[in-house]
A and B are shown apart, each in its own frame.
Chain A
Amino acid sequence: AQSVTQPDIHITVSEGASLELRCNYSYGATPYLFWYVQSPGQGLQLLLKYFSGDTLVQGIKGFEAEFKRSQSSFNLRKPSVHWSDAAEYFCAVDTYSGGGADGLTFGKGTHLIIQP
């Protein structure tokens, strides 16, 4: 079965500094990869996704992620964070068997704190 690891439970970054959130997955092939963000009491918002092709993916809100097959990683980056980026970030994978989706498998999340 597939699994997703987000090694950092909490990350604190100063406003204006760069950010990198780590994500590693375990799966026999290349899954579909996603990053979602969740603000308190809200649902999940899709930041970006990778299915195939260019391994550097651009998303919304200035985020990007790089897929590295050799490392089974899909790290999220942002060159300069804003106070509004404070939230919970989830990495997820989706695999397919037969004709349908297997459902997203999520990491435990990384809580991002922005220092003024």
Chain B
Amino acid sequence: KAGVTQTPRYLIKTRGQQVTLSCSPISGHRSVSWYQQTPGQGLQFLFEYFSETQRNKGNFPGRFSGRQFSNSRSEMNVSTLELGDSALYLCASGTFQGQYGYTFGSGTRLTVV
């Protein structure tokens, strides 16, 4: 079956702009979570959605937001971009409580200039 699809793969934005990233989970998976990966901070949890509801949120400012649609596809949005937002953003899909582990997409590489 198809894996987790993240679009776009690469993105360059200017400081102050906003950006929207997309994630299509594995068919049948209703949980979608987002992670930020940077060399300095490593992998950090952003938020998780299940059936269109945000169940949990990591320690990130309100500029980071997300949503999930009825078909389980998810988007995350970052407003007023800062240089420090440059990172690899990874999406993971899973079952209700991740009992079978989470499947990650290849990520979106965001560069803020």
Contacts and interface: CB of A to CB of B under 8 A. Distances in A.
- A and B from one complex: yes
Interface of A: 32, 34, 36, 41-46, 49, 51, 90, 92, 94, 96, 99-109
A101 B105 contact: no
A109 B6 CA distance: 23
Nearest to B94: A101
| SS class, residues of chain A in contact with chain B | strand
A109 B56 contact: no
B48 to A, nearest CB: 6
A96 B97 contact: yes
A106 B101 CA distance: 14
Contacts of B55: 99-101
B8 interface: no
A51 B107 CA distance: 26
Contacts, number: 67
Nearest to A51: B99
Interface centre among A43, A51, A107 (most CB of B within 10 A): A43
A66 to B, nearest CB: 18
Interface string B12-35: 000000000000000000010101
A49 B31 CA distance: 18
A100 B48 contact: yes
B101 A49 contact: yes
A101 B31 contact: yes
Given A46-B103, A96-B97, A101-B94, 20 more contacts: A34-B102, A43-B4, A43-B6, A43-B106, A45-B104, A49-B101, A51-B99, A94-B98, A99-B55, A100-B55, A101-B33, A101-B97, A102-B56, A103-B47, A103-B56, A103-B58, A104-B45, A105-B45, A106-B42, A107-B42
